[in-house]
Amino acid sequence: MLTRNYISLFFLSLIFISCGTKHKKVDDSLVLERDTTVIVPMSVSALMLDSNDFSVFFKRHPEYLMDSVKLRTFYLRRSMQYAWLNDEGINEQAGSFINQLLHLADEGLPADTLIPVEAFQQLANGIPVKEMLANNKDETLADLEFRLTLSFFRYANRVWGGVASRDLRDFEWFIQRKPIDDVQLLDSMLMNAGDFFQHEPVYEQYGFLKNQLRFHRDLEKNTKWDTIICRQKELVKGSTDSCIALVKLRLRYLNDFKEQDSSLLFTDSLESALINFQRRFGLTMSGKLNATVLKELNVNLEERIKQIMINMERCRWVPSGKASDYIAINIPEFKMHVFENGKDVWSMNVVVGTEATQTVIFNGMLSTIVFSPYWNVPASIIEKEILPALRKNPGYLAAHQMEAIRPADPSSPINPQSVKWSKFTGYNLPYIIRQKPGPANSLGLVKFLFPNSYSIYLHDSPARHLFDKTDRSFSHGCIRLSEPAKFAEYLLRNDSIWNTSKITAAMKSGSEKFVKLKKKLPVFIAYFTCWVDADGQLNFRKDIYGHDKRLGEFLFAPANVTSAL
């Protein structure tokens, strides 16, 4: 979803075929007569298959039956030519794919014992096919050919597509996932030589995180990661402490501290390194060494590796063909990013929902600006906050610039004194309670609508002080913007009717006004707790809603780690 300039919105196990797959009888009627016309661009081998090869293969490997139609169709389309093998061995494409399989751990997935890696390893080592078959009487050329093809299908769906689509809602992810056409991808791979895997069909953050996964695994293997303890609660430039040398070393491992300095003195360079570290972790950039910084420095590498793998998984879910101009909000980062031509042109701080009133992960099309908006209070807030107050004091509405109206007659507010509020709940109230436009309105002076079933939108806020906090999860679910006027100007920049003064006047008019955008803009609300920024630096954020925890429990569960290809 997101580019390198951001978690560029736009997060294991290898789950391909379940060991419990129900076997089905092979339907030989699915084998059609072969078209002997050779498609030249696809002609990569003189070896040819026949219908009996399919029957033999599926009787020997019933675990692959679910893909029988797809396999037959693929080879009929290529006039039954082999795709991977020839008389001498494997072609270049097969070599590239086998190399990917042999380095499956780099994809943030565990290698699976049911991938025929051992046989593929022999091929990768240059042993001719005939010699390999002579040492393994149970194999045939067709067996190897089919298993390479089926392995590619499963590789494409798991490595580039992610967990089964039915599972995404379990992880609170409602962005429409990208489709995976494994047959089309295989055709594309076979038409390209060795460079196909240099441009994998996934959101580019995936590749950046894959590099970071390798880096952190090397750190885990080659460094000592003991807990750092400081005697003083807070250290600043000029301080000395026995822990400072360890902090410098830890920050050098993480590429924040560049000097070969092992002294116990808190130097200017250490302060700069801490500021960079704090920026990468979304902390207050004070340059001080305190308990918050130490806590992040002491997180073990195994946990960081899992966090990277979890976010690599989310990268697999991001839809392809994303518009080059779009809005991306990353919930754990508390930021909104504006993208033009795929580049992050500017961003702003946002406030998102609390853990109890979480902002939903989904996408939509921003279509309307509402200046000087009313705020129609949601039923849940009426139930929990408004009605209890009204039962005690019918003057509560007036004191908070609110009014109750009948849906059929919004221009005639009712008298709160005339209603017996104890008769109703927030969910059967026959009135709409709304807050009038103005500076005290909870939506501020402007809101931005992208129709959705979650009643979530972007809006201004009178509570300006919240935007300066590092943790900005305070809303009921909607997203508050720190620079709403700038955003309105941006959206209307190509509309000659609107300029800065007119936008300011509309925001302060106290009269609600709807403005339809001439061109709708895609909006993605995502959840990434680590990503690589425009400077190539890895960022981490807290798992504020527990989504990492739930996804990690699923991905790293023993039953999933050992699932079959």
Across-strand partners of 89? 86
DSSP three-state, residue 240: strand
Neighbours of 87 (CB within 10 A): 11
∠ Cα 307 310 314 (to 5°): 135
**Distance from C-alpha of 436 to C-alpha of 206, rounded to nearest angstrom:** 46
What secondary structure letter does DSSP report for 145? Answer: H
**Distance from C-alpha of 37 to C-alpha of 90, rounded to nearest angstrom:** 23
459 belongs to the catalytic site: yes
Q: Which of 216, 337, 459, 547 is catalytic?
A: 459
Neighbours of 540 (CB within 10 A): 18
Task: Write phi, then psi, for 503 (nearest 5 degrees).
Answer: -65, -45
* Rama region for 493: left / alpha / beta (φ>0; ψ in -120 to 50; rest): alpha
Q: Which of 230, 243, 478, 530 is catalytic?
A: 478
- What is the Cα Rg of the chain in Å? 29
Closest CA to 128 of 86, 88, 82: 88
> Are the C-beta atoms of residues 404 and 419 closer than 8 Å to each other?
yes
376's tokens:
């129609």
Residue listed under structure tokens 């597509």? 161
Across-strand partners of 370? 447, 514
Segment (H or E) for 523: strand 513-526
What secondary structure letter does DSSP report for 299? Answer: S
478 belongs to the catalytic site: yes
Neighbours of 80 (CB within 10 A): 19
**Distance from C-alpha of 512 to C-alpha of 87, rounded to nearest angstrom:** 76
290's tokens:
């305190």
Task: Write phi, then psi, for 144 (nearest 5 degrees).
Answer: -65, -45
Neighbours of 385 (CB within 10 A): 13
143's tokens:
């067996």
**Distance from C-alpha of 181 to C-alpha of 176, rounded to nearest angstrom:** 16
Length of the chain: 565
What secondary structure letter does DSSP report for 385? Answer: I
What does 317-384 look like in DSSP terms, one character per residue?
Answer: HSPSS--SSEEEEEGGGTEEEEEETTEEEEEEEEEEE-SSSPPPBEEEEEEEEEES--EE--HHHIII
Closest CA to 483 of 347, 364, 345, 344: 347
Catalytic residues: 459, 478
